[in-house]
Each structure stands twice: as C-alpha cells, then as structure tokens.
Chains A and B, each alone.
Chain A
Amino acid sequence: MSATTVTVWLPAALVALFPGAPRQVEIEADTVDDVMNGLNDRWPGMRDRLCDSTPRIRRHINVFVDGERATLQTRLPPGTDVTVLTAISGG
C-alpha cells in the first residue's frame, strides 16, 4: 500500500536554517518518522534538527498530529495535518 499524503507545517526558526525551505510542505508518509525522513531527503540535515539519536523527537520540539502531541511512532491518517512547533525554551 502506498503512503498517504500529509501536510506538514514547519516553524520559522527551522526553515531559517534551510534556505529555500517553505513553511508548508506535502509529504508521503505513514508515520511521523516517515515525515522526518521525507524532510531530510529534501533538506539534508533537517531530521537532525528535529530528532536526536535516541532516536526521538527533540525535547523542545513538539509535533502535533490533528491537534494531538505525537511521537516518531505515531501513525498518520490520510490527509492529516502535521504541525511542528518549537516549545517555549531559552533565556
């Protein structure tokens, strides 16, 4: 079965690190992990910015799938929205 297409929304602070990357992108993915790999295929290094080597989503990055906080293993319904947000952090 082919992967479903999802819409991924990226934070401004992330796309600033990858010249030319848009805030909104369509990706073929069944899981959030697939989304990360799909982003990395288009913009090499982007997965490292969002995930650590555990592997898991970085502590101060939040990924929401249809409004619910997700992990790399979260499965994606067809046509869903995946929103990547930077958490409150810093000083």
Chain B
Amino acid sequence: MAQKVLVLLGTKKGAFILESDGARRTWELRGPFCETWPLNHVVADPNTGTIYAGGGNEWFGPAVWKSDDLGATWSHSSEGLSYPAGEEPVKSVWSLAAGDGALYAGVEPAGLFRSDDGGQSWTHVKGLRDHPTRPDWQPGGAGLILHSLIPDPRDPQRLWVGISAAGVFHTADGGDTWEPRNQGTRCDYLPEGQKYPEFGQCVHSIAMAAGMSDRLYQQNHCGMYRSDDGGKHWQSIENGLPSSFGFPAAAHPRDPSTLYLLPLNGDSAGRYVPDGKAAVWRSRDGGDSWQDLREGLPQQNAFFGVLRQAMATDTLDRAGVYFGTGSGEVYASADEGDTWSCAARHLPAILSVETLVVDA
C-alpha cells in the first residue's frame, strides 16, 4: 500500500500541514488552521489518525483543537482544562501525547491533564501538582511549562514529563504519585556545590528510544544526556558536540541507538546555529560519538534557532527527519539526515514539528 507523510506544524499563528508521498521529494502546504491561534504542539494519534493541536490564545485562553479528517475541518474544546477557582488559571497548552486510548496535555503553569474521550473533556492529573517540590518549581524562559510528555508504550501506568525549570518527573501509577528523575543532570546556573540538585533542572526536551522505554535521551539547558534506567541516572553524551546547549531531541523510529540533536551556540550567545552554519547532529551509538549532517542545509549567514518541540522523525524506512526554525522554514531529510532540502519557508515562527504516516 502506498503511503503519504504528513508533517504537522504548530506555529505562532496557526497549524500548517506539509504533505508528500513516500518518496518525500516535494511537499504541498496546507493551512493556516485553527483560526491562526498560537499552537505549541500539533500531534497525531497514529492509531486513529486524529490530529490534535494544543495552544493558548491571548484573548480566548487555552484549548485543544481536533481534526478527524487530516486537517480539513477542526473543532476545539477546553472543558475541564482548568485548575480550581482561585488558583492561577491555565494559560496555554504546551504539549500533547496520545497513548493507550488516552490523550495527555501538559500546560502552563505546569500541570498535567488527561482526556479519555478524544480531547472533548479533560481531567486534572492532580498528583503531579501535589508533589511536595511544587512550591519551589521555578519558571524557565518560556514560563513554568510542562513539555516532553512521554507515555510508556509498554505500560500505560508509566509516564515521564519535563517541566521547565523543575526537571524530569516520573510516575509508575498512572499519575497518582511522582518522583524527580534528575540524578546526573547539572545546573550550571547554580553555585558550586549545588549544581546537581534533586529537582530544578532546566530540561529542554526528552525523547524515548524506540523499543526501549527505559532508554531516554535528554537535551538540557546544560548538556545532553542519556539514561538507560528510565531516568533514574543520567550520563552526559555531549562530548563531540559543538555546544552543550540546544532545545530539541528526536529519536529514530526503530533504532534505539540513533538520536538527532540540533545544538545551538549557547544560552547567552544568541541561541542560533553555531557560526551561522546549520547542522543536525546524529549519533548511531547512543551518544558516544556524533556526526554533523550539513548537506543541503545553509552553511553561511544562518542565524535561526530551533525550539524544543520542533524536530521529529517519521516512521518510513529510511526514516525521515524534519525540523522547523524560529524564522519559519522547514527542512526535511528522507534519508535519515544524510541530505536535506527546504520543504517550506516564510511560515510563522515554528513551535512544533511532528509526523503522521497514513495510507495514501
């Protein structure tokens, strides 16, 4: 059966969809969708083909949009997507993840919601905000946001989240209780002797290795890491990379040792690609060594950044790799990152990139 690939784009002004056949040589752009709302994350449930888009509008607040027809029509809801009266209200939805029939939403200020009816209504997963560390969670540059929402495909009770800047948290009981999982990730912004706290790390993104739910990769504000025990311990994998700073991390769809990162030049150096030359960095050995992938990417005067949810792989063989820039360009590779081409340009600032492969 022939297949087609949809690249789902969340932008500062609506959702867009890039579409191609399995060869992924040319791309057709559709959008903007969702009344040009700022959308932090657009994802698809691969089991149903339903597309969800989460964001927050300065006028109208947070909501999750939904399309059952690959983007042709959309509806929105925020029923139940709120904290109790008197608490600081939910400002926006930051991350979405489908797993085991449930849909999860991470929001700002940091908290987690679950929907069991395909995004029509939401229930607060209270255990996370009941965590005793919560009064001490500090916001990162984008606010106190919950992103990197990773359900375990092999155990629906297990879930990891990243909160900026509170760190990685894990539940093994469906969200009732949580524990910080930050051992080994450092905080360069804290004084000597305090750089490895239990929580308070500025996690930028987490990616789960294919078929190995205890192997997690992390791009942090301060370094890149791998864990082989579900986040209990992290080890640095930044040796060989041009920088210890970046936002996204994307795992290969089948090979648990292949990871893609997009290092930027540093948190106080502009946060764009080093030396104005764009490169995706790929490891084939779990982060022990790195290769820079540049063919087809701009190698002069490139001063863009790529945000935490703006890089993804697809499930085709060979895997496609995609990233979207803060200046509205999408770059695509149909050969696991070896070569690249520009699939779209002149879009609004791109906040997220995800993929969906469906029968053509």
Using a CB–CB cutoff of 8 Å, the interface residues on chain A facing chain B are 13-14, 16-17, 44-45, 48-50, 52-55, 58, 60-61, 86-87, 89-90
Contacts and interface: CB of A to CB of B under 8 A. Distances in A.
Q: Secondary structure at chain A's binding surface: helix, strand, loop or mixed?
A: loop
B59 A53 contact: no
Q: Secondary structure at chain B's binding surface: helix, strand, loop or mixed?
A: loop
B85 A87 contact: no
B87 A17 contact: no
6 contacts: A13-B60, A48-B82, A49-B61, A52-B90, A60-B58, A86-B59
Q: Which residue among B61, B81, B83 has the maximum number of chain A CB atoms within 10 Å of its CB?
A: B61
Q: Which residue among B78, B81, B87, B89 has the maximum number of chain A CB atoms within 10 Å of its CB?
A: B89
Contacts of B132: none
B123 interface: no
A78 B176 CA distance: 50
Interface string B83-106: 111110110000000000000000
Interface of B: 35, 58-61, 63, 76-79, 81-87, 89-90
A48 B59 contact: no
A54 B85 contact: yes
Contact of B77 (A45, A52, A86): A45
Contacts, number: 52
A17 B61 contact: no
A70 B79 CA distance: 25
A13 B87 CA distance: 27
Contact of A53 (B76, B77, B87): B87
Contacts of B79: 44-45, 48
B35 A13 contact: yes
B59 A52 contact: no
Q: Which residue among B59, B81, B89 has the maximum number of chain A CB atoms within 10 Å of its CB?
A: B59
A52 B78 contact: no
B58 A45 contact: no
Nearest to A46: B60
Q: Which 9 residue pairs spanning A and B have beta carbons closest together?
A: A52-B89, A53-B82, A49-B60, A89-B58, A53-B89, A86-B59, A48-B78, A60-B59, A60-B58
A6 B78 CA distance: 27
Contacts of B84: 53
Given A48-B81, A52-B61, A61-B60, 18 more contacts: A14-B60, A17-B35, A44-B79, A45-B76, A45-B77, A45-B79, A48-B61, A48-B63, A49-B61, A53-B83, A53-B84, A53-B87, A53-B90, A54-B86, A58-B60, A87-B59, A89-B58, A90-B58
Contact of B76 (A17, A52, A89): A17
A53 B85 contact: yes
A4 B35 CA distance: 34
Contacts of B63: 48-49
Given A17-B60, A60-B59, A89-B58, A45 B78 contact: yes
Nearest to B79: A45
Q: Which residue among B35, B58, B81, B86 has the maximum number of chain A CB atoms within 10 Å of its CB?
A: B58
A48 B77 CA distance: 9
